Amino acid sequence: MNSFVNWLDHRTGFRQLLHEALYERVPGGARWRYVWGSTLVFTFVIQAISGLMLWTAYSPSTRTAWESVFYIQHEMYLGSVVRGIHHFAAQAMVELMAIHLVQVIIDGAYRAPREVNFWLGIILMQIVLGLSLTGYLLPWDQKGYYATQVTTNIMSATTVVGPQVQVLAQGGTSYGHLTLTRFFAMHAGILPALLIGFLALHICMFRRHGLTVHDPAYAPDTWFWPDQVLRDAIACLAVLAVVLLLAVFRGAELSAPADPATMFDAARPEWYFLFLFRFLKFHAVESLGLAVAAIIIPGILMGILTVMPLTASILGAAGHSLNKAFTWIMTIGIVGLTGLAMYEDATDTDHQAALAEAHRDAGRARELASGPDKIPVEGAASLLRQDPFTQGPRLFARHCSSCHRYQGHDGRGSLVTEFSDAAGKQTSAIVAPTAVDLSGFGSREWMRSVVVDYRGHFAWLKNAGWYQQAREKQAAGEAVSLIDPDNSEMADWSGDAAAVSSPENAENLTALVEFLAAEAGHGGIGIDQALAEKGRSVALNGTWAGGAAGTSCASCHSTLGNAFTPVSDDAADGYPTLAGYASAAWLRDFIRHPNAKRHYGSKNQMPEYSPQQLSDPELDLLVRWMTHDYAPTTVAEYADRLELIRAAIPTAPAPEPTSQPK
């Protein structure tokens, strides 16, 4: 081995190179404050190695980017760890870079003769930030897609050349395949090459001028090897340990596949850019315009950083004090704005609801991609576009939530609110539902509630303006046809709860509920066929014990059967059909024709939804969601808000009518 080493040294002179690299004098002794530059270089090496590993499985196109990242994350051996290392090392690099910059300014390591090296460091900082921005888009998920659009829109605000710069960066006038390939080229090729080149220059300049010693009398002089190398190695090991722990136990996020047709309200930049995001939200800043707020003001701050060596050279000690003061003010401002942005997001109910939907979509996308059908050839975005579990809540929020709620929210986890001006101050208030909450529609619980507690089940109708107007007309003696939770034949029948729910009727009630649940036929509801047949007999014959409950369902609802078949208005009896009640076929027909006699006729207040308002594919997705006709899922539903709105908006009692409607 000794002969080989001597031979290699004779040919390459590596011993002299190692001596030059390792035996650098450290005035004032080795110190922990000198480790930041080494940890930055080490973190970049981690990024390069993990990035090359990811590159072997990544495919940069709009139909394969998310799919390949999903494969890395969930199929490739240790792929999630490698991606997590790359993700968290990128964040660590930005944080370490900020610490290194502050330390350089405080120690005065930017002053003559080290100005050029300081400027090289500023260039390196811009490259690192560029790597963060370009890497954010590469998973081609909703989070990166919409957050990066904000960045390119800011580019367009640049004076004179803004639109051209935006087109150049995104490869056209809109986001697409060329945007992804250009960002990948910058992230994996151009920017790393520039970083390596400028890093080599930065290290050369550093070696030429040596360390800037904060306190030369701190300790006796020593050598870079082994004292400072040991500290650097421990610091690098600590960085690696933190990155590994985060990669293993937290992992890198992968949200739903990018879909331009679906808005992503939860989009935010990475946490180290949140300060700029929050700064742009100030009203005074917004009034200045995007170009001033996002380009000119940050450009001025960066310019002040850049001229710090000149400021210190011209003003001497006073200039250095000004530079340190500016650095601390800017650091406190960045930390403060970041904390404010995080606090506001944490307390913003709309943002939290959007986050919940984003996590729900991400979980569902992973679930479907891992399912038996895998990812279709048209790409992963189609998984959610054609999924009732995903699209149903969105369609409900768009078309139904103006009246109905689903577990108290708009279907997407948000309370329906409105802003009102109270004493000159805008406040938000929960909007009262004006129709029944549709969570559990067609389930056993739903059917039991209709039978036993008709008044309570439909109580939200009393918040509707049409209901109040109808009751006023009734009080004035006018005949009005309406669905009335308090005064109707069904309300009276269900109101005899003591009879309907009595012990002697318990079996009949259970059987009737089972029959109605069988008529609905929702997915995931196992039916006891024998009990359902008994319930059919109860519905047809009314074998109830005692009280007003002695009436059969068929005495009013003549349409009872195994499946829903639309009947003509002439053949309908004016009472809602119970044939296939709450089934998919019944629900489709009801949404299209709620005014038909087979449903509620003239009593109905719900508008008809034509194919122009709600297309057939959309109707199918909405109905399949409400009837639970979709691939099984372990993704949690949105948080239940029903009790919250019940506490906030108690249903007002209606005035007693002069006559009882039938």
pLDDT of residue 661: 34
> What pLDDT band is residue 655 in, cutting at 50, 70 and 90?
very low
Question: What pLDDT is stored for residue 651 in this prediction?
Answer: 56
Copy the structure tokens of residue 399. 């078309």
Query: From the DSSP assignment, how many helices (H) and strands (E) are in the chain?
Result: 30, 4
Checking if the pLDDT of 497 tops 90, the result is: no
Percent of the chain whose predicted confidence (pLDDT) is above 90: 51
Q: What is the pLDDT of residue 656?
A: 40
Q: Is the pLDDT of residue 512 over 80?
A: yes
Q: Regarding beta strands 417-422 and 425-430, do their DSSP bridges make them parallel or antiparallel, or are they unpaired?
A: antiparallel
The verdict on whether omega for the bond into residue 113 sits within 30 degrees of 0, i.e. cis, is yes
In angstroms, rounded to a whole number, what is the distance separating the alpha carbons of residues 222 and 507?
91
pLDDT(577) > 80? yes
Q: Which residue has the tokens 């009882």?
A: 660
Residue 653: pLDDT above 50? no
Question: What pLDDT score was predicted for residue 410?
Answer: 92
State the average pLDDT over residues 611-640.
93
Q: Which two tokens stand for residue 213?
A: 């010693």
pLDDT tens per residue, range 149-164: 888 888 888 877 888 9
**Per-residue pLDDT tens digits for 444-480:** 999 988 888 888 888 899 888 888 888 888 888 887 8
Torsions phi, psi of 178, nearest 5?
A: -65, -30
DSSP letter assigned to residue 376: -
Q: What pLDDT is stored for residue 423 in this prediction?
A: 58
Tokens read off for 277: 């995001």
**Does residue 551 carry a pLDDT above 80?**
no
Q: Mean pLDDT of all residues in the chain?
A: 87
pLDDT tens-digit readout, 200-237: 999 999 888 877 777 776 777 788 888 889 999 999 99
Q: Which residues have a Cβ under 8 Å from the Cβ of 490 and sit 6 or more positions away?
A: 454, 556
Distance CA 310, CA 301 (A): 15
The two three-digit tokens of residue 313, written as one number: 């050279």
What's the maximum distance between 2 C-alpha atoms anywhere in the chain?
A: 115
What structural domains does the chain harbor? 22-265 (1.20.810.10), 268-347 (no CATH), 444-604+642-648 (no CATH)
Confidence of residue 547 (pLDDT cuts 50, 70, 90): low
CA distance 411 to 639: 10
What digits encode the pLDDT tens for the residues 337-372?
999 999 999 998 888 888 999 999 999 999 999 988
In this predicted structure, the answer to whether residue 100 has a pLDDT above a threshold of 50 is yes
Closest CA to 107 of 118, 95, 96: 118
- Determine the distance from the C-alpha atom of residue 96 to the mean position of all C-alpha atoms in its chain, rounded to a whole number: 28
Residue-level pLDDT at 499: 65
Mean pLDDT across 527-554: 76
- Listed in sequence order, the DSSP H helices in 222-273 are 229-249
